[in-house]
Amino acid sequence: MSLEDDIEKARAILRGARSIAVLTGAGISAESGVPTFRGAEGLWKHFRPEELATPYAFARDPALVWEWYGWRRLRIKDARPNPGHYALVTLEQRCEPFLLITQNVDDLHKVAGSRRMVRLHGSLWESRCLGCGEVFEDRAAAVEGVPRCAKCQGMLRPNVVWFGENLDEEILDQASNAAATCGAFLVVGTSGVVQPAASLALIASRHGARVIEVNPDETPLSHACDVALRGSSGSLLPRIVS
């Protein structure tokens, strides 16, 4: 089958679905200039994730972890949504029920206008107090040492989900329910190796949803897909949603 045929097949699946759920990963923001995590140009290239994106790393050296998050904020502070993000807004406006489930912490879906959305791994633009639990919106890119809570002076941490930490139970339930009940599941720009996010595509497939993947590369989820569109989400999503 040609790419054109696959695009037509994906369109037909989306048109015919009673409800749609979408899982996105770092790849959807690649064309906005946000580095992905894995692969040749991956964000982890100069840093080992086990060293920095874990609660143990933060306990050992919170200033180093904050320095890395400050560097990442600086890298993406001017990033804007791309046509892939906007295509998902269009899809949301056309479909009910609909849920966008993102692993991304860059908030570009929100900036694009997505509303029926859950964030599995938190936000790069929030910090959370280890003392009182308060969550602060926080856009500081130059982080000096370890920032402190304005209310209780407790230590702040990035409000993201690190390896070995549980995802928010309510959010995960919402995502799992959407995966188990949707007619079509779209999986975009994720390497499909991080759990429990990756298993959402398998839940959808097991419950009878038609699964569409948009990714330039094959992933461990590809075998569960009815259609695998090989290419960038910035060019393919607008074509399957139009």
Residue with tokens 């056309």: 94
Q: Between 74 and 103, how does the x/- string for binding to ligand BJW read (CB under 6 A)?
A: -----------------------------x
* Partner whose binding site includes residue 151, from ligand BJW, Zn ion, none (CB under 5 to 8 Å by kind): Zn ion
Q: Of 79, 112, 117, which is closest to residue 97 (Cα–Cα)? A: 117
Q: Which amino acid is at 73?
A: R
37, 86, 125, 185: residue in contact with ligand BJW (rule CB under 6 A): 37
Q: How far is the CB of 68 from Zn ion (least distance, A)?
A: 22
240, two tokens: 């399957």
219 counts as binding ligand BJW under rule CB under 6 A: yes
Residues 8-42 as b/e (b if ≥16 CB within 10 A, e otherwise) read ebbbebbeebebbbbbbbbbbbbbbebbbbbbeee
What part of residues 136-175 is at the interface with ligand BJW (CB under 6 A)?
Answer: 160-166
- Please give the C-alpha separations between residue 168 and each of 129, 173, 178, 197, 224, in angstroms, as whole numbers: 16, 9, 16, 12, 26
Q: Which of 39/70 has CB closer to ligand BJW?
A: 39
150 counts as binding Zn ion under rule CB under 5 A: no
3-state secondary structure of 7: helix
18, 45, 151, 207: residue in contact with Zn ion (rule CB under 5 A): 151
Asked about 121 being catalytic, the answer comes back as yes
Binding residues for ligand BJW (CB under 6 A): 25-28, 30-31, 36-39, 42, 53, 103, 105, 121, 160-166, 189-191, 193-196, 214-217, 219, 232-234
Q: Which residues are catalytic?
A: 121
